[in-house]
Amino acid sequence: MSEERPTSDAAQEETADEVRFEEKRAVDDDAWATACAEDLAAEKARRRAQHGPPPGSAAEELRKLVDAVADKLSGLQSPLFGAVASGTAQQVVSQVVQQAKAAVEPVLERNPEVFDHLAAAGSELLAAYRSAVENQERRWTTRGTGSRDDEAGPGEHIDLD
């Protein structure tokens, strides 16, 4: 028969201290997370009040664009066609708009994150283009500011006096 040794009072106190420390730490971690979440929510509310609602995902924005273009195209009246052809042209435009929406909607539903990636890639390409243009403009503008005598070119200076 095995007997368990009774733990000393010091060991019991040490174990109790460890438990209290872990409980206090867990409460502090939760308090920090709660405070951060509250601060973030307050900041989001302040920005929403100041700037309006944030834009949606790229897929949502594309959907809004397609709807806006469809509404504009549907409302156009063409003066180029006669009164009889105007109704037919309106039907053709409406049919094309519906076909475009039918083609775009499934893609948006299946792959909304693709449009976020494409938007990010577009932003990166724009930044790269802007950087290249700024560097080229800097070279163009600094090229004409120096004196010709100071430049060390491949040619030889000929004194005409």
Stretches in the chain below the pLDDT threshold 70: 1-17, 19-29, 76-87, 144-155, 161
One-character DSSP codes across 14-48 = HHHHHHHHHHHHHHHHHHHHHHHHHHHHHHHHHHH
Global model pTM greater than 0.85: no
Q: Please report the pLDDT score of residue 23 as a whole number.
A: 65
Q: How far apart are CA 161 and CA 117, in angstroms?
A: 66
- Per-residue pLDDT tens for 108-119? 888 888 888 888
Structure tokens at 126: 């724009």
Q: What is the pLDDT of residue 138?
A: 87
pLDDT value at residue 17:
66
Max alpha carbon distance in the chain (Å)? 121
Torsion of the alpha carbons at 78, 79, 81 and 85, rounded to the nearest 10: 60
pLDDT at 57: 79
Burial class of 130 by CB neighbour count within 10 A (0 to 12, 13 to 18, 19+): exposed
Secondary structure element (H or E) that encloses residue 145, with its range? none
Domain boundaries along the sequence of the chain: 11-54, 56-144
